[in-house]
Amino acid sequence: MAETPPAETLPDRPARAAEDWTVPQDWDRYSAADHAMWDRLFDRQARMLPGRVVPEFIAGLDILRMDQPGIPRFDALSQRLMAATGWQVVAVPGLVPDRVFFDHLANRRFPAGRFIRTPAQEDYLQEPDIFHDVFGHVPLLANPVFADYMQAYGEGGLRADGLGAIEKLARLYWYTVEFGLIATPQGLRLYGAGIVSSNAESHFALEDPSPNRLGFDLQRLMRTRYRIDDFQQSYFVIDSFDQLLRQTVGTDFAPLYAALEQQSDFDTDTILPGDRVFTRGTQAYAHKKMQE
């Protein structure tokens, strides 16, 4: 989930890994149980997502032929992705340092975990596994606009690091790439990888009366804390991937970071007078959790 924790919490680079932290996928080392786990997760999401996820995601599954059984091979996936948008998928042992992560994205490489969760971890994971990283993130990389956004985010990350603003920029990633919703003529749809790779959160983010659903506003969003331990209390809704690209690539973040230093953060459940409110959440879920 969180791709950008503080570097000091990370283990040393594994001895076998390259300078860029990539490792071989070692596809032959997956067991039958590993493949069966992928298939089970895949089938469950493939059944529930049509009508809930943005159509570009389904198109991506199709372009990349991800409906074939078993854990995908990164080399075959990269070949198709390269043909579509010039992106590749590379294996990493787990979370990587911020600059390594940004550098991969800036060069159109998506670093993906290669391990798959065990049955005991089926619905909750501390670290992103291959199902989250590949099923959640890769389909939209076959979309040219989203592909450009992800590359620009990587470049923006390297820049933000120099400006001491990674924490602010990470909120943009969180509320778009991981937990974003999009307004379509047919209604709200999911596109965030953290949502679409989770069966429970796919229902929660779209249908539960608990969370807020608020219009995307770059500056507001960069002031908003987020939850890494449970479902989000607020989701942000973009109008289109073009809008997302325009408002981020076409904006110099340096003055924004400077301004944000003087401004306080917002809580995860705050609704502001200026917010475009799609749903005013009851927060019933979060309140119930607090009492437990």
Contact 116, 71 (CB under 8 A): yes
The Cα angle at residue 166 between residues 141 and 261, in degrees rounded to 5: 135
Find the binder of ligand PHE among 126, 240, 251, 282 (CB under 6 A).
251
What binding mask, one character per residue, do residues 114-153 give for ligand PHE by CB under 6 A, x or -? --------------------------------------xx
Q: How far apart are CA 90 and CA 21, in angstroms?
A: 10
Question: Which region, judged by CB under 6 A, interacts with ligand PHE, from 26-34, 196-204, 230-238, 248-256?
Answer: 248-256
Tell me the C-alpha distance between 26 and 73, whole Å: 9
CB of 50 to ligand PHE, least distance (A): 29
The residue type found at 26 is D
The Cα–Cα gap between 291 and 176 comes to: 29
Q: Please, what is the minimum distance in Å from the beta carbon of residue 255 to ligand PHE?
A: 9
To the nearest whole angstrom, how small is the minimum distance from the Cβ of residue 133 to Fe ion?
Answer: 6
- The residue from 13, 159, 223, 227 that contacts ligand PHE (CB under 6 A) is 159
List the one residue from 2, 10, 46, 249 that touches ligand PHE (CB under 6 A): 249
User: Binding marks (x or -) toward Fe ion, 116..145, rule CB under 5 A?
Assistant: ------------x-----------------
Taking residue 173's Cβ as centre, other Cβ atoms within 10 Å add up to: 23
The angle that helices 144-162 and 241-249 make with each other, rounded to 10 degrees, is 30
Q: Which of 1, 189, 253, 286 binds ligand PHE (CB under 6 A)?
A: 253
Tell me how far, at minimum, the Cβ of 195 lies from Fe ion, in Å: 10
Tokens for 174, please give them.
């969180």
CB of 61 to Fe ion, least distance (A): 17
Nearest to 233 by CA among 182, 169, 284: 284
| Torsion sign (Cα): 39, 45, 47, 53 | negative
Among 252, 261, 267, 292, binds ligand PHE (CB under 6 A): 252
CB of 96 vs Fe ion, minimal distance in Å: 12
State the Cα–Cα distance between residues 131 and 134, nearest whole angstrom. Answer: 5
User: For Fe ion, which residue has the nearest CB?
Assistant: 193
Of 175-204, which residues contact Fe ion (CB under 5 A)? 193
User: At what angle are helices 144-162 and 253-261 packed, to 10 degrees?
Assistant: 50
Q: How buried is residue 39: exposed, middle or buried, by Cβ count under 10 Å (0-12/13-18/19+)?
A: middle
Confirm or reject binding of residue 282 to ligand PHE (CB under 6 A).
Answer: no
State which residue, 204 or 241, has the beta carbon closest to ligand PHE: 241
Chain positions contacting Fe ion, by CB under 5 A: 128, 193
Chain positions contacting ligand PHE, by CB under 6 A: 152-153, 156, 159, 172, 248-249, 251-253
